[in-house]
A and B are shown apart, each in its own frame.
Chain A
Amino acid sequence: MTIDSQQRRALLKVLGAGCGCCICGAAGARLLEYPLHATEIASKTWAVHGELSHFNLENGGNIVNVAFIEVPDGVVVIDTGPSKRYGQALLTLIEKTVPGRPVLRVYNTHHHPDHCFGNQVFDQSLIAAPQGVIDNINLDGNGFADNMYRLVGDWMRGTAPVAPGVALEAGKEEIGGRQFSLFYLSGHTSADFVVRDDTTGVVFSGDLAFLFRAPTTPHADIATWQGAINELSGLDKDLILPGHGPADKRGESLVQTSDYLAWLEDTLTGAVDSGLTMNEAMQLPIPDGFSSLSVVREEFERSVVHLYPALEDQLMPLIDVTR
Protein backbone atom coordinates (compact mmCIF):
# COMPACT_ATOMS: atom_id res chain seq x y z
CA MET A 1 0.00 0.00 0.00
CA THR A 2 1.39 3.35 -1.00
CA ILE A 3 0.69 6.72 0.52
CA ASP A 4 0.05 9.34 -2.13
CA SER A 5 1.24 12.91 -1.65
CA GLN A 6 -2.18 14.16 -0.60
CA GLN A 7 -2.43 11.57 2.15
CA ARG A 8 1.11 12.34 3.22
CA ARG A 9 0.33 16.01 3.51
CA ALA A 10 -2.76 15.23 5.55
CA LEU A 11 -0.70 12.99 7.82
CA LEU A 12 1.97 15.63 8.27
CA LYS A 13 -0.72 18.14 9.13
CA VAL A 14 -2.04 15.88 11.86
CA LEU A 15 1.45 15.27 13.23
CA GLY A 16 2.24 18.97 13.05
CA ALA A 17 -0.94 19.87 14.86
CA GLY A 18 -0.13 17.26 17.47
CA CYS A 19 3.29 18.79 18.12
CA GLY A 20 1.76 22.26 18.31
CA CYS A 21 -0.67 21.03 20.91
CA CYS A 22 2.15 19.65 23.08
CA ILE A 23 3.76 23.09 23.19
CA CYS A 24 0.41 24.75 23.79
CA GLY A 25 -0.34 22.31 26.56
CA ALA A 26 2.93 23.06 28.30
CA ALA A 27 2.38 26.81 28.01
CA GLY A 28 -1.22 26.52 29.18
CA ALA A 29 -0.15 24.54 32.21
CA ARG A 30 2.25 27.20 33.48
CA LEU A 31 1.34 28.72 36.81
CA LEU A 32 -0.22 32.14 36.42
CA GLU A 33 1.89 34.57 38.43
CA TYR A 34 1.72 38.34 38.50
CA PRO A 35 5.23 39.78 38.13
CA LEU A 36 4.64 42.43 40.82
CA HIS A 37 7.44 44.83 41.63
CA ALA A 38 7.52 47.47 44.36
CA THR A 39 8.95 50.88 43.36
CA GLU A 40 9.76 53.26 46.22
CA ILE A 41 8.20 56.55 45.11
CA ALA A 42 8.61 58.38 48.44
CA SER A 43 10.03 57.55 51.86
CA LYS A 44 8.70 54.10 52.88
CA THR A 45 6.04 54.41 50.14
CA TRP A 46 5.93 51.88 47.35
CA ALA A 47 3.96 51.83 44.12
CA VAL A 48 3.14 48.57 42.34
CA HIS A 49 2.74 49.61 38.72
CA GLY A 50 0.67 47.69 36.19
CA GLU A 51 0.76 47.78 32.39
CA LEU A 52 -0.59 50.85 30.58
CA SER A 53 -2.93 48.56 28.72
CA HIS A 54 -6.32 46.87 28.64
CA PHE A 55 -7.44 43.76 30.49
CA ASN A 56 -6.22 40.72 28.60
CA LEU A 57 -5.40 37.05 29.00
CA GLU A 58 -1.67 37.81 29.25
CA ASN A 59 -1.68 40.53 31.91
CA GLY A 60 -4.45 39.04 34.05
CA GLY A 61 -5.93 42.51 34.53
CA ASN A 62 -2.73 43.93 36.03
CA ILE A 63 -3.13 47.38 34.47
CA VAL A 64 -3.42 49.40 37.65
CA ASN A 65 -1.36 51.22 40.27
CA VAL A 66 -1.57 49.81 43.77
CA ALA A 67 0.46 51.24 46.66
CA PHE A 68 1.52 50.48 50.21
CA ILE A 69 3.07 52.62 52.92
CA GLU A 70 5.06 51.59 55.96
CA VAL A 71 3.68 53.63 58.86
CA PRO A 72 5.15 53.46 62.41
CA ASP A 73 2.99 50.50 63.54
CA GLY A 74 2.35 48.61 60.29
CA VAL A 75 1.27 48.94 56.67
CA VAL A 76 -1.44 50.91 54.85
CA VAL A 77 -2.53 49.61 51.43
CA ILE A 78 -4.20 51.70 48.70
CA ASP A 79 -6.24 49.61 46.24
CA THR A 80 -5.92 45.85 45.88
CA GLY A 81 -5.71 44.96 42.17
CA PRO A 82 -7.90 42.99 39.76
CA SER A 83 -8.16 39.50 41.31
CA LYS A 84 -7.77 37.31 44.35
CA ARG A 85 -4.53 35.97 42.85
CA TYR A 86 -3.22 39.54 42.51
CA GLY A 87 -4.18 40.21 46.13
CA GLN A 88 -2.16 37.18 47.23
CA ALA A 89 0.84 38.30 45.16
CA LEU A 90 0.50 41.78 46.68
CA LEU A 91 0.52 40.36 50.22
CA THR A 92 3.67 38.37 49.37
CA LEU A 93 5.32 41.50 47.95
CA ILE A 94 4.42 43.55 51.05
CA GLU A 95 5.81 40.82 53.33
CA LYS A 96 9.01 40.72 51.26
CA THR A 97 9.41 44.51 51.26
CA VAL A 98 8.46 45.24 54.87
CA PRO A 99 8.76 41.87 56.67
CA GLY A 100 6.66 41.18 59.72
CA ARG A 101 4.56 44.34 59.52
CA PRO A 102 0.79 43.91 59.89
CA VAL A 103 -1.65 45.47 57.42
CA LEU A 104 -3.62 48.02 59.46
CA ARG A 105 -5.77 49.66 56.77
CA VAL A 106 -6.78 49.04 53.15
CA TYR A 107 -8.33 51.91 51.16
CA ASN A 108 -10.39 51.49 47.98
CA THR A 109 -10.27 54.57 45.75
CA HIS A 110 -13.36 53.53 43.72
CA HIS A 111 -15.37 50.50 42.68
CA HIS A 112 -13.78 49.58 39.33
CA PRO A 113 -12.63 45.93 39.36
CA ASP A 114 -8.93 46.55 38.68
CA HIS A 115 -8.80 48.60 41.90
CA CYS A 116 -10.70 46.46 44.40
CA PHE A 117 -10.94 42.83 43.30
CA GLY A 118 -7.97 41.85 45.48
CA ASN A 119 -10.02 42.82 48.58
CA GLN A 120 -10.78 39.17 49.29
CA VAL A 121 -7.33 38.45 50.75
CA PHE A 122 -7.62 41.20 53.38
CA ASP A 123 -9.64 41.28 56.59
CA GLN A 124 -12.88 42.99 55.56
CA SER A 125 -12.97 45.00 58.80
CA LEU A 126 -9.72 46.73 57.72
CA ILE A 127 -10.97 47.73 54.25
CA ALA A 128 -12.32 51.28 54.17
CA ALA A 129 -13.97 53.59 51.65
CA PRO A 130 -16.77 56.15 51.48
CA GLN A 131 -20.31 54.72 51.55
CA GLY A 132 -20.67 55.59 47.83
CA VAL A 133 -17.81 53.27 46.91
CA ILE A 134 -19.31 50.49 49.05
CA ASP A 135 -22.72 50.96 47.40
CA ASN A 136 -21.17 50.89 43.92
CA ILE A 137 -19.27 47.65 44.65
CA ASN A 138 -22.48 46.07 45.94
CA LEU A 139 -24.37 47.26 42.85
CA ASP A 140 -21.87 46.52 40.07
CA GLY A 141 -19.45 44.01 41.62
CA ASN A 142 -21.06 40.83 40.30
CA GLY A 143 -21.48 42.24 36.80
CA PHE A 144 -17.84 43.33 36.80
CA ALA A 145 -16.79 39.87 37.97
CA ASP A 146 -18.69 38.19 35.11
CA ASN A 147 -16.96 40.44 32.62
CA MET A 148 -13.50 40.06 34.20
CA TYR A 149 -13.73 36.25 34.05
CA ARG A 150 -14.63 36.62 30.36
CA LEU A 151 -11.78 39.04 29.64
CA VAL A 152 -8.86 37.60 31.60
CA GLY A 153 -9.96 34.01 32.25
CA ASP A 154 -8.17 31.79 34.73
CA TRP A 155 -6.33 34.64 36.44
CA MET A 156 -9.68 35.36 38.13
CA ARG A 157 -10.10 31.88 39.62
CA GLY A 158 -11.78 32.11 43.02
CA THR A 159 -12.25 35.90 42.83
CA ALA A 160 -15.46 37.40 44.19
CA PRO A 161 -16.22 41.06 44.89
CA VAL A 162 -15.90 42.11 48.53
CA ALA A 163 -17.15 45.53 49.65
CA PRO A 164 -15.20 47.44 52.33
CA GLY A 165 -16.34 46.79 55.91
CA VAL A 166 -15.69 50.38 57.04
CA ALA A 167 -17.66 53.35 55.66
CA LEU A 168 -15.59 56.52 55.98
CA GLU A 169 -16.94 60.03 56.57
CA ALA A 170 -14.15 61.85 58.40
CA GLY A 171 -11.79 64.30 56.74
CA LYS A 172 -8.78 62.80 58.49
CA GLU A 173 -7.85 59.46 59.95
CA GLU A 174 -4.83 58.29 61.95
CA ILE A 175 -3.58 54.83 61.14
CA GLY A 176 -0.68 53.21 63.00
CA GLY A 177 0.84 56.53 64.00
CA ARG A 178 0.42 58.28 60.61
CA GLN A 179 -2.18 60.91 59.67
CA PHE A 180 -4.07 60.66 56.39
CA SER A 181 -6.33 63.31 54.83
CA LEU A 182 -9.37 61.89 53.07
CA PHE A 183 -11.15 63.57 50.14
CA TYR A 184 -14.63 62.63 48.97
CA LEU A 185 -14.86 63.44 45.28
CA SER A 186 -16.60 62.15 42.14
CA GLY A 187 -16.52 62.44 38.38
CA HIS A 188 -14.60 59.38 37.22
CA THR A 189 -17.36 57.46 39.00
CA SER A 190 -20.14 58.59 41.33
CA ALA A 191 -17.75 58.05 44.29
CA ASP A 192 -14.01 58.70 43.97
CA PHE A 193 -11.93 58.64 47.08
CA VAL A 194 -8.55 60.37 47.36
CA VAL A 195 -6.07 59.76 50.16
CA ARG A 196 -3.15 62.00 51.13
CA ASP A 197 -0.36 60.84 53.41
CA ASP A 198 0.14 64.04 55.41
CA THR A 199 3.72 63.08 56.34
CA THR A 200 5.12 62.44 52.86
CA GLY A 201 2.68 64.65 50.95
CA VAL A 202 1.88 61.81 48.50
CA VAL A 203 -1.61 62.01 47.04
CA PHE A 204 -3.20 58.75 45.88
CA SER A 205 -5.63 60.07 43.31
CA GLY A 206 -7.21 56.84 42.12
CA ASP A 207 -8.56 57.23 38.59
CA LEU A 208 -9.26 60.95 38.87
CA ALA A 209 -5.77 61.21 37.33
CA PHE A 210 -4.16 59.20 34.54
CA LEU A 211 -0.66 59.70 33.13
CA PHE A 212 0.45 58.56 29.65
CA ARG A 213 -2.62 56.33 29.42
CA ALA A 214 -5.98 57.47 28.06
CA PRO A 215 -8.61 58.01 30.79
CA THR A 216 -11.59 55.65 30.94
CA THR A 217 -15.17 56.93 31.14
CA PRO A 218 -17.69 54.10 31.71
CA HIS A 219 -19.19 55.85 34.76
CA ALA A 220 -17.86 59.35 34.19
CA ASP A 221 -19.48 62.74 34.51
CA ILE A 222 -17.01 64.99 32.75
CA ALA A 223 -17.99 68.32 34.33
CA THR A 224 -17.85 66.85 37.84
CA TRP A 225 -14.54 65.16 37.04
CA GLN A 226 -13.06 68.49 35.93
CA GLY A 227 -14.22 69.98 39.23
CA ALA A 228 -12.46 67.19 41.13
CA ILE A 229 -9.24 67.73 39.17
CA ASN A 230 -9.48 71.40 39.98
CA GLU A 231 -9.75 70.58 43.65
CA LEU A 232 -6.77 68.19 43.49
CA SER A 233 -4.71 70.84 41.69
CA GLY A 234 -5.22 73.21 44.61
CA LEU A 235 -4.21 70.58 47.15
CA ASP A 236 -0.97 70.86 49.11
CA LYS A 237 1.10 67.89 47.91
CA ASP A 238 4.57 66.67 46.92
CA LEU A 239 3.72 63.78 44.61
CA ILE A 240 0.69 62.24 42.90
CA LEU A 241 0.33 58.54 42.30
CA PRO A 242 -2.28 58.41 39.50
CA GLY A 243 -4.54 55.40 39.10
CA HIS A 244 -2.64 54.45 35.95
CA GLY A 245 0.83 55.64 34.91
CA PRO A 246 4.05 56.69 36.66
CA ALA A 247 4.28 58.73 39.87
CA ASP A 248 4.00 62.40 39.08
CA LYS A 249 5.95 65.18 40.84
CA ARG A 250 4.77 68.15 38.75
CA GLY A 251 1.03 67.60 38.53
CA GLU A 252 1.34 66.57 34.89
CA SER A 253 -1.26 63.80 35.36
CA LEU A 254 -3.88 66.34 36.41
CA VAL A 255 -3.15 68.62 33.44
CA GLN A 256 -3.09 65.73 30.97
CA THR A 257 -6.32 64.20 32.29
CA SER A 258 -8.08 67.56 32.33
CA ASP A 259 -6.92 68.44 28.80
CA TYR A 260 -7.98 65.05 27.44
CA LEU A 261 -11.42 65.28 29.05
CA ALA A 262 -11.91 68.80 27.67
CA TRP A 263 -10.98 67.62 24.18
CA LEU A 264 -13.21 64.56 24.52
CA GLU A 265 -16.22 66.62 25.56
CA ASP A 266 -15.68 69.21 22.82
CA THR A 267 -15.18 66.56 20.16
CA LEU A 268 -18.24 64.53 21.09
CA THR A 269 -20.38 67.64 21.48
CA GLY A 270 -19.38 68.66 17.96
CA ALA A 271 -20.01 65.15 16.65
CA VAL A 272 -23.53 64.93 18.12
CA ASP A 273 -24.33 68.43 16.90
CA SER A 274 -23.21 67.54 13.36
CA GLY A 275 -25.49 64.49 13.40
CA LEU A 276 -22.63 61.98 13.14
CA THR A 277 -23.48 58.41 14.06
CA MET A 278 -21.51 56.87 16.93
CA ASN A 279 -19.50 54.84 14.42
CA GLU A 280 -18.58 57.96 12.45
CA ALA A 281 -17.59 59.74 15.66
CA MET A 282 -15.32 56.81 16.60
CA GLN A 283 -13.32 57.45 13.43
CA LEU A 284 -12.58 61.11 14.18
CA PRO A 285 -8.88 61.98 14.33
CA ILE A 286 -7.04 62.12 17.65
CA PRO A 287 -4.85 65.22 17.90
CA ASP A 288 -1.07 64.93 18.22
CA GLY A 289 -1.11 65.94 21.86
CA PHE A 290 -3.03 62.79 22.81
CA SER A 291 -2.07 60.31 20.11
CA SER A 292 0.88 59.03 22.15
CA LEU A 293 -1.31 58.13 25.14
CA SER A 294 -1.50 54.38 25.62
CA VAL A 295 -4.70 52.73 24.24
CA VAL A 296 -6.14 56.13 23.27
CA ARG A 297 -8.01 54.96 20.15
CA GLU A 298 -9.68 52.12 22.05
CA GLU A 299 -10.59 54.36 24.97
CA PHE A 300 -11.90 57.09 22.67
CA GLU A 301 -14.17 54.53 20.94
CA ARG A 302 -15.41 53.30 24.32
CA SER A 303 -16.03 56.87 25.44
CA VAL A 304 -18.22 57.51 22.38
CA VAL A 305 -20.51 54.72 23.58
CA HIS A 306 -20.41 55.94 27.19
CA LEU A 307 -21.01 59.63 26.56
CA TYR A 308 -23.05 59.91 23.34
CA PRO A 309 -26.53 59.08 24.72
CA ALA A 310 -26.43 61.78 27.41
CA LEU A 311 -25.07 64.33 24.92
CA GLU A 312 -27.86 63.44 22.49
CA ASP A 313 -30.46 64.01 25.21
CA GLN A 314 -28.80 67.30 26.02
CA LEU A 315 -28.10 68.66 22.50
CA MET A 316 -30.88 67.33 20.29
CA PRO A 317 -33.97 69.53 20.56
CA LEU A 318 -37.27 68.11 21.79
CA ILE A 319 -39.84 67.88 19.00
CA ASP A 320 -43.60 68.32 19.38
CA VAL A 321 -45.13 64.98 18.61
CA THR A 322 -48.71 64.32 17.53
CA ARG A 323 -50.06 61.10 18.98
Chain B
Amino acid sequence: MVHSKKFLSISKLMLSAVLLACSALAQAAAPADPFGSVMWQAMVDRYFTGGDVVFDQRVKVIAPYSAENQMHVPITVDATGLENVKQIVAVADLNPIQHVLTVRPKQALSFIGFRLKLQQSSPIHVGVQTEDGTWHMGGALIDAAGGGCTAPAAAHGTSNWMQTLGETRALVRRDSKGDARMTVRMRHPMDTGLAAGIPVFYMNKMVVKDEAGGVIAELDLFEPVSENPTITLKPAVGSSASQLAVSTRDTEGNEFSFPLSVPAVTTQ
Protein backbone atom coordinates (compact mmCIF):
# COMPACT_ATOMS: atom_id res chain seq x y z
CA MET B 1 0.00 0.00 0.00
CA VAL B 2 2.64 2.42 1.12
CA HIS B 3 4.80 1.59 -1.86
CA SER B 4 2.10 1.97 -4.42
CA LYS B 5 0.91 5.24 -2.89
CA LYS B 6 4.43 6.60 -2.94
CA PHE B 7 4.88 5.43 -6.52
CA LEU B 8 1.62 7.05 -7.47
CA SER B 9 2.59 10.40 -6.01
CA ILE B 10 6.01 10.25 -7.68
CA SER B 11 4.50 9.45 -11.02
CA LYS B 12 1.96 12.24 -10.47
CA LEU B 13 4.82 14.64 -9.82
CA MET B 14 6.68 13.47 -12.90
CA LEU B 15 3.56 13.76 -15.01
CA SER B 16 2.87 17.30 -13.89
CA ALA B 17 6.53 18.17 -14.48
CA VAL B 18 6.30 16.79 -18.02
CA LEU B 19 3.03 18.61 -18.60
CA LEU B 20 4.54 21.84 -17.32
CA ALA B 21 7.57 21.42 -19.55
CA CYS B 22 5.33 20.68 -22.53
CA SER B 23 3.11 23.67 -22.02
CA ALA B 24 6.15 25.90 -21.48
CA LEU B 25 7.64 24.61 -24.73
CA ALA B 26 4.38 25.00 -26.58
CA GLN B 27 3.98 28.55 -25.37
CA ALA B 28 7.48 29.43 -26.47
CA ALA B 29 7.01 27.80 -29.83
CA ALA B 30 3.62 29.18 -30.78
CA PRO B 31 2.57 32.75 -30.08
CA ALA B 32 -1.12 33.50 -30.56
CA ASP B 33 -2.07 33.18 -34.22
CA PRO B 34 -3.57 36.39 -35.64
CA PHE B 35 -5.41 34.23 -38.18
CA GLY B 36 -7.07 32.12 -35.47
CA SER B 37 -6.18 28.83 -37.13
CA VAL B 38 -7.28 25.67 -35.30
CA MET B 39 -4.25 23.97 -36.89
CA TRP B 40 -1.73 26.59 -35.81
CA GLN B 41 -0.05 24.56 -33.06
CA ALA B 42 0.16 21.54 -35.33
CA MET B 43 1.69 23.66 -38.12
CA VAL B 44 4.34 24.97 -35.71
CA ASP B 45 5.10 21.50 -34.36
CA ARG B 46 5.41 20.05 -37.84
CA TYR B 47 6.94 22.77 -40.02
CA PHE B 48 8.34 25.63 -37.95
CA THR B 49 10.74 23.90 -35.57
CA GLY B 50 14.31 24.62 -34.49
CA GLY B 51 13.90 28.23 -33.40
CA ASP B 52 11.64 30.87 -31.93
CA VAL B 53 8.43 31.67 -33.78
CA VAL B 54 7.42 35.33 -34.06
CA PHE B 55 4.89 37.14 -36.21
CA ASP B 56 6.76 39.77 -38.16
CA GLN B 57 5.41 42.62 -40.35
CA ARG B 58 8.42 42.23 -42.60
CA VAL B 59 6.96 38.99 -43.94
CA LYS B 60 4.41 40.30 -46.41
CA VAL B 61 2.03 37.67 -47.69
CA ILE B 62 -0.10 39.08 -50.50
CA ALA B 63 -3.17 36.98 -51.19
CA PRO B 64 -6.70 37.67 -52.39
CA TYR B 65 -9.38 37.78 -49.71
CA SER B 66 -11.41 35.30 -51.73
CA ALA B 67 -10.20 32.53 -54.04
CA GLU B 68 -11.74 33.23 -57.43
CA ASN B 69 -10.49 29.85 -58.63
CA GLN B 70 -9.58 27.44 -55.86
CA MET B 71 -7.34 25.49 -58.26
CA HIS B 72 -5.15 28.57 -58.79
CA VAL B 73 -4.90 30.83 -55.76
CA PRO B 74 -2.10 33.34 -56.26
CA ILE B 75 0.26 34.07 -53.37
CA THR B 76 3.21 36.46 -53.33
CA VAL B 77 5.62 36.46 -50.41
CA ASP B 78 7.91 39.45 -49.98
CA ALA B 79 10.36 39.13 -47.09
CA THR B 80 13.01 41.36 -48.64
CA GLY B 81 12.96 43.41 -45.44
CA LEU B 82 14.64 40.51 -43.60
CA GLU B 83 18.33 39.68 -43.84
CA ASN B 84 20.15 36.34 -43.64
CA VAL B 85 17.17 34.34 -44.78
CA LYS B 86 17.74 30.59 -44.77
CA GLN B 87 14.40 29.33 -46.04
CA ILE B 88 10.80 30.26 -46.73
CA VAL B 89 8.11 27.68 -45.94
CA ALA B 90 4.46 28.08 -47.00
CA VAL B 91 1.64 25.96 -45.58
CA ALA B 92 -2.13 25.94 -46.11
CA ASP B 93 -3.43 24.93 -42.68
CA LEU B 94 -6.73 23.34 -43.67
CA ASN B 95 -5.59 21.57 -46.83
CA PRO B 96 -5.45 17.76 -46.70
CA ILE B 97 -1.76 18.22 -47.58
CA GLN B 98 -0.54 21.38 -45.86
CA HIS B 99 3.03 21.87 -47.02
CA VAL B 100 2.95 23.89 -50.26
CA LEU B 101 6.60 24.70 -50.82
CA THR B 102 9.97 25.53 -49.34
CA VAL B 103 12.39 27.98 -50.95
CA ARG B 104 16.04 28.44 -50.03
CA PRO B 105 16.96 31.77 -51.63
CA LYS B 106 20.77 31.46 -51.59
CA GLN B 107 21.54 34.18 -54.13
CA ALA B 108 18.03 35.48 -54.61
CA LEU B 109 15.95 38.10 -52.86
CA SER B 110 13.54 36.71 -50.26
CA PHE B 111 10.66 36.90 -52.65
CA ILE B 112 8.45 34.32 -54.34
CA GLY B 113 5.25 34.29 -56.35
CA PHE B 114 3.34 31.01 -56.79
CA ARG B 115 -0.17 29.57 -57.00
CA LEU B 116 -1.73 26.90 -54.87
CA LYS B 117 -4.76 24.65 -54.70
CA LEU B 118 -7.12 25.23 -51.79
CA GLN B 119 -9.45 22.49 -50.63
CA GLN B 120 -11.56 24.92 -48.58
CA SER B 121 -11.37 28.35 -46.94
CA SER B 122 -8.10 28.32 -45.00
CA PRO B 123 -5.42 30.33 -43.26
CA ILE B 124 -2.10 30.37 -45.10
CA HIS B 125 1.04 30.59 -42.97
CA VAL B 126 4.42 31.54 -44.36
CA GLY B 127 7.48 31.12 -42.16
CA VAL B 128 10.74 32.81 -43.09
CA GLN B 129 13.61 31.30 -41.13
CA THR B 130 16.70 33.43 -40.62
CA GLU B 131 20.21 32.07 -39.96
CA ASP B 132 19.71 32.37 -36.17
CA GLY B 133 16.90 29.81 -36.45
CA THR B 134 14.05 32.23 -35.79
CA TRP B 135 10.87 31.76 -37.80
CA HIS B 136 9.42 35.10 -38.88
CA MET B 137 5.76 34.48 -39.66
CA GLY B 138 3.24 36.08 -41.94
CA GLY B 139 0.00 34.83 -43.38
CA ALA B 140 -3.42 35.42 -44.85
CA LEU B 141 -6.96 34.12 -44.60
CA ILE B 142 -8.48 33.04 -47.89
CA ASP B 143 -12.16 32.34 -48.46
CA ALA B 144 -12.77 29.55 -50.98
CA ALA B 145 -15.34 27.19 -52.39
CA GLY B 146 -14.44 23.53 -52.07
CA GLY B 147 -12.55 20.95 -54.03
CA GLY B 148 -9.12 22.25 -55.11
CA CYS B 149 -7.04 19.29 -53.99
CA THR B 150 -9.38 16.41 -54.73
CA ALA B 151 -10.41 17.56 -58.21
CA PRO B 152 -8.51 16.15 -61.20
CA ALA B 153 -6.08 18.45 -63.05
CA ALA B 154 -7.41 20.12 -66.20
CA ALA B 155 -4.71 18.28 -68.16
CA HIS B 156 -6.59 15.02 -67.67
CA GLY B 157 -9.36 16.39 -69.85
CA THR B 158 -6.94 16.36 -72.80
CA SER B 159 -5.46 13.30 -74.49
CA ASN B 160 -1.97 14.67 -75.15
CA TRP B 161 -0.87 15.88 -71.74
CA MET B 162 2.02 13.40 -71.71
CA GLN B 163 3.47 15.07 -74.82
CA THR B 164 3.32 18.56 -73.37
CA LEU B 165 4.70 17.57 -69.96
CA GLY B 166 7.53 19.93 -69.08
CA GLU B 167 6.70 22.43 -71.84
CA THR B 168 8.09 25.67 -70.49
CA ARG B 169 7.43 29.35 -70.91
CA ALA B 170 9.62 31.88 -69.17
CA LEU B 171 10.31 35.56 -68.91
CA VAL B 172 13.16 37.47 -67.26
CA ARG B 173 12.77 41.20 -66.70
CA ARG B 174 14.37 44.01 -64.77
CA ASP B 175 11.95 45.93 -62.58
CA SER B 176 12.03 49.68 -61.95
CA LYS B 177 14.68 49.21 -59.24
CA GLY B 178 16.87 47.17 -61.58
CA ASP B 179 16.18 43.90 -59.76
CA ALA B 180 15.95 40.88 -62.04
CA ARG B 181 12.76 38.87 -61.81
CA MET B 182 12.15 35.56 -63.54
CA THR B 183 8.82 33.85 -64.05
CA VAL B 184 8.69 30.27 -65.24
CA ARG B 185 5.53 28.41 -66.17
CA MET B 186 5.90 24.68 -66.79
CA ARG B 187 3.28 22.22 -67.90
CA HIS B 188 2.73 19.62 -65.22
CA PRO B 189 -0.51 18.17 -63.82
CA MET B 190 0.74 18.35 -60.20
CA ASP B 191 -1.48 15.41 -59.23
CA THR B 192 -2.07 15.26 -55.49
CA GLY B 193 -3.05 11.60 -55.42
CA LEU B 194 -6.35 12.65 -53.85
CA ALA B 195 -8.43 12.73 -57.05
CA ALA B 196 -10.10 9.37 -57.65
CA GLY B 197 -8.00 7.01 -59.77
CA ILE B 198 -5.09 9.42 -60.38
CA PRO B 199 -1.86 8.58 -58.56
CA VAL B 200 0.37 11.22 -57.01
CA PHE B 201 2.63 12.85 -59.62
CA TYR B 202 4.10 16.29 -59.15
CA MET B 203 7.16 18.40 -59.81
CA ASN B 204 9.05 18.35 -56.53
CA LYS B 205 12.37 20.08 -57.20
CA MET B 206 13.52 23.22 -58.92
CA VAL B 207 17.05 24.61 -58.80
CA VAL B 208 18.21 27.89 -60.33
CA LYS B 209 21.98 28.36 -60.81
CA ASP B 210 24.17 31.10 -62.19
CA GLU B 211 26.74 30.76 -65.00
CA ALA B 212 29.44 29.55 -62.59
CA GLY B 213 27.15 26.87 -61.20
CA GLY B 214 26.48 28.74 -57.97
CA VAL B 215 23.04 28.07 -56.54
CA ILE B 216 20.70 31.04 -56.75
CA ALA B 217 17.64 29.34 -55.31
CA GLU B 218 16.45 25.86 -54.45
CA LEU B 219 12.76 24.99 -54.25
CA ASP B 220 11.00 21.96 -52.81
CA LEU B 221 7.52 21.85 -54.28
CA PHE B 222 4.65 19.76 -52.96
CA GLU B 223 1.22 18.52 -54.07
CA PRO B 224 -0.73 21.74 -53.32
CA VAL B 225 1.23 23.78 -55.88
CA SER B 226 -1.17 24.49 -58.76
CA GLU B 227 -1.20 22.63 -62.05
CA ASN B 228 1.33 24.12 -64.50
CA PRO B 229 3.48 25.61 -61.73
CA THR B 230 4.08 29.31 -62.29
CA ILE B 231 6.90 30.57 -60.11
CA THR B 232 8.34 34.07 -59.85
CA LEU B 233 11.75 34.62 -58.23
CA LYS B 234 14.15 37.54 -57.97
CA PRO B 235 17.72 36.31 -58.61
CA ALA B 236 20.38 38.64 -57.18
CA VAL B 237 22.65 38.64 -60.23
CA GLY B 238 24.03 42.15 -60.36
CA SER B 239 23.31 44.67 -63.10
CA SER B 240 25.02 43.16 -66.16
CA ALA B 241 23.56 40.57 -68.51
CA SER B 242 23.98 36.96 -67.47
CA GLN B 243 22.74 33.44 -67.95
CA LEU B 244 20.76 31.32 -65.51
CA ALA B 245 20.39 27.55 -65.59
CA VAL B 246 17.11 26.11 -64.32
CA SER B 247 16.58 22.44 -63.65
CA THR B 248 13.52 20.65 -62.35
CA ARG B 249 12.57 17.11 -61.45
CA ASP B 250 9.27 15.40 -60.73
CA THR B 251 8.23 12.47 -58.54
CA GLU B 252 8.59 10.06 -61.50
CA GLY B 253 12.19 11.15 -62.04
CA ASN B 254 11.53 13.22 -65.18
CA GLU B 255 14.14 15.95 -65.41
CA PHE B 256 13.78 19.17 -67.36
CA SER B 257 16.46 21.82 -67.68
CA PHE B 258 16.79 25.03 -69.62
CA PRO B 259 18.85 28.23 -69.76
CA LEU B 260 17.44 31.72 -69.21
CA SER B 261 19.00 35.03 -70.22
CA VAL B 262 18.95 37.92 -67.78
CA PRO B 263 19.06 41.27 -69.56
CA ALA B 264 21.43 43.97 -68.31
CA VAL B 265 19.98 46.91 -66.42
CA THR B 266 19.26 49.60 -68.96
CA THR B 267 20.22 53.13 -68.02
CA GLN B 268 17.47 55.59 -68.75
Contacts and interface: CB of A to CB of B under 8 A. Distances in A.
A318 B167 CA distance: 8
A147 B166 contact: no
Given A302-B68, A323-B255, A275 B166 contact: no
B258 A320 contact: yes
A279 B170 contact: no
B232 interface: yes
B256 A305 contact: no
B175 A277 contact: no
Contacts of B257: 321-323
B172 A275 contact: yes
Given A277-B74, A277-B232, A282-B64, A316 B113 contact: no
A8 interface: no
Interface residues of B, number: 35
Given A146-B145, A150-B145, A313 B169 contact: yes
18 contacts: A146-B146, A147-B145, A272-B171, A273-B171, A275-B183, A275-B232, A279-B113, A282-B74, A301-B64, A305-B64, A312-B183, A312-B230, A316-B170, A317-B169, A319-B169, A321-B166, A321-B256, A323-B256
Contact of B115 (A274, A278, A283, A323): A278
Interface string B157-170: 00000000011111
Contacts of A318: 167-169
Given A279-B113, A301-B64, A323-B256, A316 B74 contact: no
Interface in A273-323: 273-275, 277-280, 282-283, 301-302, 304-306, 309, 312-313, 315-323
Contacts of B256: 321-323
B155 interface: no
Nearest to B231: A277
Contacts of B230: 309, 312
B106 interface: no
B43 interface: no
B182 interface: yes
A294 to B, nearest CB: 17
B145 A319 contact: no
B224 to A, nearest CB: 17
B95 to A, nearest CB: 18
Contacts of A305: 64, 68-69, 72, 74
